[in-house]
Amino acid sequence: MIQLSGVPVGDYKSIKFSVGVESRYNDNLSLQIGELSQLNGMTNISWMWMTSYIFTSVGGTVKSGASAPKNMLVETGLNTNYKTVTINLPTNIRISSVKDSEIVLKADVEKALDGVDVFANPIVGASKATIMAQVATNYATKVFTVASAR
Amino acid sequence: MMIKIKYVNLKRITILLWLSLLIVSCKKEPLVEEELPLPSFVKLAVPSNLPTAPEDPDNPLSKEGIELGRRLFYDTRLSASNRISCASCHHQELAFTDGVALNDKGESRKVLHRHSPALFNLAWANKGLFWDGGSTNLESQAFAPITSPDEMHQDLLIMESELKQIPDYVQRFKLVFQDEIKSKYVAKALAQFQRSLISANSKYDKYIRKEDNIQLSTLELQGLSLVEKKCKGCHSGELFTDYAYHNNGLDSMFSDEHEGIYQGRYRVTFNPLDLGKFKTPSLRNVALTAPYMHDGRFNTLNEVLNHYMNHVKVSVSTDQLMYQNNGEAGIPMSIQEKEAIIAFLNTLSDFDFINNKSISNPHNK
């Protein structure tokens, strides 16, 4: 849960956020703002080789028919995959000092893998640029929806 | 196909919200209790024949920061076994290369896939570091060798706690960064030290700057004009490199093994025209930095020149400047011209740099 305070009073019809780390910080691992760090698995040697944090990471197993399951790890990173998402709210929401407002976002992780054959490509990272771009686009266009806003 | 998701990590989503909303609205200045002394900020002393060096406003150089970086560069506490320092693979007497093609000095003792490059004039290297430019700047680069299992394999928290046990370090970090020891400051201090490694005091430099009445011989001068004609398209300017990426025809097949390490710049840009392109190394100190190329495949300058003459391989990404032989691949040189070029390259060795005590191991005293 992310708590925002000091949001200016007014009627809001959409929310906008980004998935990833903006380039100023993604390009310089020594400028650590907020929770950014090389620690906590936010980046690793494979990504530091490209100077990037890991923007998204989905791990699990994938199985097709009778063949043995494979470990799956689909990650995105790199500045080109920094995506800004704008989602319209079902109804306008009024932010005021009188009450707290709450927006619940739903992330459908399977949609992140839309159009990707994860059985053929169970490990996606910096060296799989095209697939990674597809996954990042999925995050930007179809993963997030508003569950409720009040 | 059945997908079972074990974990999802989207934590990074918060970052922008943080930046755009939180910071604007509730920025609280911490109360300064006592004034800490400030480090003495300095500008790089750039010799007159070099261009001005770009500065990094996020990591302003200070005398004390450079000295702290030097201490860390030579400190084996940066590695897991406390056996390896940066200097284990970057030796001052070899202009900070290591003299071997591929090094197995890392914690895992595995042979690295790339040759250790020389470290000097890095203040100008702002088009990417590593042979393929995968690393964006010195501040970010340092984290790679420190944490890589095949290099120093250090846990950053353990590194911080080991350094914190040394009162001298605690004081130095406090003065330079006004804070306690953190891994990001280790990276920044290392970057400051490495930016201060300027090499431009060779015989050639003294000749160009008209210092000490130094002259080049006829052979060396012939070599200089040949290098200007045949090599400076890439090894350009007074830094003798454009810090850009070129395929100088070493290979025509670029396997995608080891996360694309043989593919050069392509690993970073994914542009097929960047296959097999590597960062142009400087020709400065080149007589000191054998073996040569990203994998150290050539042992002598003579072998390098033989490559340029007779063995340039053709592929889509082979640089246009590699076709100096009436449109055919190769850079033609007579045996006498080769000798002249090598004589000139030897005038680029900076003995003041490799003997400079102020950048040598401070822990040896």
Give yes or no: residues B216 and B332 share one domain: yes
CA dihedral B97, B98, B99, B100 (to 10 degrees): -120
What does the pLDDT read at residue B33? 60
Give yes or no: residues B264 and B292 share one domain: yes
Give yes or no: residues B181 and B267 share one domain: no
Using the 3D structure, point to which of B198, B230, B248 is the last residue of a domain: B198
Q: Is there a domain that residue B231 lies in? A: yes
Residues β-bridged to residue A61: A71, B4
Residue of B nearest to A53 (CA): B12
Give yes or no: residues B138 and B247 share one domain: no
Residue of B nearest to A16 (CA): B17
Q: Is there a domain that residue B324 lies in? A: yes
Q: Is there a domain that residue B29 lies in? A: no
What does the pLDDT read at residue A100? 81
Query: Whole-angstrom Cα distance, residue B111 to residue B105?
Result: 8
Q: How far is A73 from chain B (nearest CA, A)?
A: 9
Q: What share of chain B is helix, strand, coil (3-state, %, to 5)?
A: 40, 10, 50
Minimal CA–CA distance to B97: which of B293, B242, B343?
B293
Q: Is there a domain that residue B227 lies in? A: yes
* Mean of pLDDT values over B102-111: 88
Structure confidence by residue, pLDDT tens digits, A36-46: 877 777 888 88
Using the 3D structure, point to which of B164, B182, B198 is the last residue of a domain: B198
Q: Do A58 and B7 touch (CB under 8 A)?
A: yes
Give yes or no: residues B232 and B251 share one domain: yes
Query: Whole-angstrom Cα distance, residue B10 to residue B260?
Result: 27
For chain A, give every domain's residue range: 10-21+52-149
Structure confidence by residue, pLDDT tens digits, B184-196: 999 999 999 999 9
**Quick one: tokens of B282?**
């400087």
β-bridge pairing A123-124 and A70-77: parallel
* Mean of pLDDT values over B234-238: 97
Question: Touching check for A95 and chain B: CB below 8 Å?
Answer: no
**Quick one: tokens of A129?**
């640029």
CATH of the domain at B218: 1.10.760.10
Query: Whole-angstrom Cα distance, residue B86 to residue B81?
Result: 13
* Mutation target among B10, B72, B126, B160 for the A interface, most CBs of A within 10 A: B10
Global pTM reads 0.89
* Mean of pLDDT values over A118-139: 91
Give yes or no: residues B221 and B235 share one domain: yes
Give yes or no: residues B158 and B267 share one domain: no
CA atoms within 13 A of residue A42's CA, in its CB half-sphere: 22
Please check whether residue A56 is in contact with residue B10, taking contact to mean a CB–CB distance below 8 angstroms.
Answer: yes
Listed in sequence order, the residues at least 6 apart from B57 whose beta carbon sits closer than 8 Å to its beta carbon are none
Structure confidence by residue, pLDDT tens digits, B300-343: 999 999 999 999 999 999 999 999 988 899 999 999 999 999 99
Using the 3D structure, point to which of B154, B180, B198 is the last residue of a domain: B198
Q: Do A127 and B187 touch (CB under 8 A)?
A: no
Domain range spanning residue B318? Answer: 203-350
For residue B143, the one-letter residue type is: F
Q: Is there a domain that residue B325 lies in? A: yes
Domain count, chain B: 2
Query: Whole-angstrom Cα distance, residue B114 to residue B103?
Result: 8
ipTM, two decimals:
0.78
Q: Do A17 and B13 touch (CB under 8 A)?
A: yes
What does the pLDDT read at residue B30? 53
Minimal CA–CA distance to A52: which of A78, A22, A81?
A78
**Which region among A119-128, B112-121, B160-169, B193-202 has the lowest average model confidence (pLDDT)?**
A119-128
